Amino acid sequence: MGTIFRFQGYRVVIYTNDHRPPHVHVIGAGSEAIFWLNCPDGPPEPIKVVGMAHHTLLLVRKRLEAHTHLLCWHWRLIHDDT
């Protein structure tokens, strides 16, 4: 699959060959953050952050929180998780 959605120059990605637990990669502006989704209800939790300012990380987390159910649905669809 790859990119699930984009916002403000960032891509939210789920890789098809990735491992559990459910998580997303947020990539853009020379930075990347990986968030556990904590499906099905969240909240998303950053586990690795490279080159992303704290205020940007907070913005990204809010956006992921607003879409947690959608992201968990995509994870299940991509990884055949029931």
DSSP labels for 3-35?
A: EEEEETTEEEEE-TTPPSSPEEEEEETTEEEEE
| Per-residue pLDDT at 82 exceeds 70 | no
Q: Is the dihedral of CA 5, 6, 7, 10 positive or negative?
A: positive
Average pLDDT value over all residues in the chain: 94
| Per-residue pLDDT at 81 exceeds 80 | no
62: domain range? 2-79
Domain total in the chain: 1
pLDDT tens-digit map of 7-24: 999 999 999 999 999 999
